[in-house]
Amino acid sequence: MDISKSIEEFYKLYGRGEVRTFFSPGRVNLIGEHIDYNGGYVLPCAIELGTYGWVRKRNDNKIRLASKNIGLRVEVDIDDLKYEKEHSWANYPKGVLYFMKEEGYGLQGMDILVWGNIPYGAGLSSSASLELLIAEMVNNLFNHGNIPKMDLVKLSQRAENDFIGVKCGIMDQFAIAMGKENQAVLLNSHSLDFKHVNMNIGNYKMVIMNTNKRRELSDSKYNERRRECEKALNILKVHKNIDNLCQITTGEFEQLEKYLEEDLIKNRARHVVHENQRVLKACEALESGDIHQLGQLFIQSHNSLRDLYEVTGIELDTIVETALDQKSCIGARMTGAGFGGCAIALVESEGVEDFIDNVGSIYNEKIGYKPEFYTVGIGNGTRELL
Ligand code: GLA
């Protein structure tokens, strides 16, 4: 990323003067899928792909937004922030600003330019990355950096839930704000307690595999899965005093599953309960450097998301199966919401190049178009670049 070129571009758009530069990462989830809205543990990390932003304060209430990725430029007033379909990507910044204003944080006009290298629609959270970018800009420009990170996380999630209308959990925003170089974040999505865990994967590399299948269906299917989990919870609540499905252990589930008469609902709940346990095991495996165990947990997680939770699809299944057929790969799974987007694989460092060549060509043969691969590192959370 050539920062000085982008600043020149900022000058062209908005004139010369002071400019501040920010960066906000994307994320991958190592394990713990579709359980952050069921009170479960998740283990995501921030990645080195992300969204850059350049910003300058204005003396009025105007927000001017431009992107180097998408031609559309938008100008809005802080006092008139509402969702407008034709504003496309600009609705994410607008949503964040709306809730920052509602929370009573300091906020004035700004000129903003953004550019991102997170592939759009790939399930690496380009939207949460942009949300936190804007929240951190407002935090640093108008609030002396004093807004607690957790508030930035929560209001970004609210922007997504209540301004954009996607009922996502808190994992993406959390990982993006709290990420640390070479560390994953173990988050309890119920209590919001968390700790960082070293990405102790020895002689292995994490390869992100983009199926290039856009996750178009994902929002409606995502909300459908949430409703199915609520249904299971309401039934099981009658028999056990719980607030969420992840308060059930795998042993207890064996006793309780008889109350879930519909197979589909039983399967969804079974995935949730077992996936939650896999996250804790994965964390132990990382802490003790047992990469093979981590790989096995990846495989179990993917199978469960395919067979019980039904959020994979032919593209994700093909890329994961092909990855697992490679000698150098000890584990692979879909990551994020599913229905397309990305999967991750644990691959022996020396074998990465061959792995990418082989998986790329077999996937292309079977699916009819090429996937993409990223071997990016695990990086820090949203911040100002000084
Ligand atoms: C999306 C949501 C997250 C989480 C994952 C699935 O990325 O934004 O909150 O639910 O799907 O694990």
User: Relative to the CA of 125, which ligand 1 atom is closest?
Assistant: 7
- Residue 342, phi then psi, degrees to nearest 5: -110, 155
User: Relative to the CA of 33, which ligand 1 atom is closest?
Assistant: 12
Going by C-beta distance under 8 Å and a sequence separation of 6 or more, which residues neighbour residue 269?
A: 229, 232, 236, 245, 253, 257, 260
- Give the CA-trace dihedral at 82, 87, 90, 93, to 10 degrees: 10
Q: By the 8 A CB rule, do 271 and 309 touch?
A: yes
Instruction: Kindly give the interhelix angle for 314-325 and 352-367, rounded to the nearest 10 degrees.
Output: 140
Q: What is the DSSP string of 226-263?
A: HHHHHHHHHHHHTTS--SSGGGS-HHHHHHHGGG--SH
Going by C-beta distance under 8 Å and a sequence separation of 6 or more, which residues neighbour residue 112?
A: 53, 54, 55, 63, 64, 65, 66, 93, 134, 137
Residue 386 binned pLDDT confidence (cut-offs 50, 70, 90): confident
Ligand 1 centroid from CA 315, angstroms: 19
Number of Cβ within a 10 Å radius of residue 5: 10
User: Relative to the CA of 169, which ligand 1 atom is closest?
Assistant: 9
pLDDT at residue number 234: 98
User: Relative to the CA of 160, which ligand 1 atom is closest?
Assistant: 8
The residues assigned a catalytic role are 172
Ligand 1 centroid from CA 171, angstroms: 6
Q: By the 8 A CB rule, do 55 and 20 touch?
A: yes
Ligand 1 centroid from CA 55, angstroms: 29
* Average pLDDT estimate for 330-339: 96
Picking from 306, 239, 381, 375, the residue whose alpha carbon sits closest to that of residue 34 is: 306
pLDDT at residue number 220: 83
Ligand 1 centroid from CA 61, angstroms: 34
* Average pLDDT estimate for 32-50: 98
Residue 2 binned pLDDT confidence (cut-offs 50, 70, 90): confident
* Percent of the chain scoring above 90 in pLDDT: 94
Give the H/E segment covering residue 85. Answer: none
pLDDT at residue number 117: 95
pLDDT at residue number 42: 98
Which of 132, 156, 172, 305 has most ligand 1 atoms within 8 Å of CB, for mutation?
Answer: 172
Contacts of the segment 277-280: beta carbons below 8 A, 24+ positions apart: 277/249, 277/250, 278/31, 278/32, 279/31, 279/32, 279/35, 279/40, 279/41, 279/42, 279/43, 279/186, 280/41
Q: Which residues line ligand 1 (CB under 6 A)?
A: 29, 33-34, 36-37, 168-169, 171-172, 336-337
Residue 217 has pLDDT above 60, yes or no: no
Nearest C-alpha to atom 8 of ligand 1 is from which residue?
A: 168
Q: What is the reported pTM?
A: 0.96
pLDDT at residue number 71: 87
Structure token digits, residue 179: 């990420």
Q: By the 8 A CB rule, do 200 and 67 touch?
A: no
CA-CA distance, 25 to 249, in Å (whole number)? 34
CA-CA distance, 379 to 48, in Å (whole number)? 5
pLDDT at residue number 3: 84
* Average pLDDT estimate for 247-270: 98
Residue 271 has pLDDT above 90, yes or no: yes
pLDDT at residue number 143: 98
Nearest C-alpha to atom 9 of ligand 1 is from which residue?
A: 169
Which of 27, 33, 36 has most ligand 1 atoms within 8 Å of CB, for mutation?
Answer: 36
Give the model confidence (pLDDT) of 123-170 as tens digits. 999 999 999 999 999 999 999 999 999 999 999 999 999 999 888 999
What does the mean pLDDT of the chain come to? 96
Residue 218 has pLDDT above 70, yes or no: no
pLDDT at residue number 156: 98
Give the model confidence (pLDDT) of 245-256 as tens digits. 999 999 999 999
pLDDT at residue number 127: 95
pLDDT at residue number 216: 64
Which of 28, 33, 168 has most ligand 1 atoms within 8 Å of CB, for mutation?
Answer: 168
CA-CA distance, 100 to 153, in Å (whole number)? 11
- Residue 119 has what DSSP assignment? P
Picking from 207, 196, 177, 203, the residue whose alpha carbon sits closest to that of residue 283 is: 196
- Residue 71, phi then psi, degrees to nearest 5: -60, -30
Ligand 1 centroid from CA 132, angstroms: 16
Q: By the 8 A CB rule, do 43 and 350 touch?
A: no
Residue 121 binned pLDDT confidence (cut-offs 50, 70, 90): confident
Residue 4 binned pLDDT confidence (cut-offs 50, 70, 90): confident
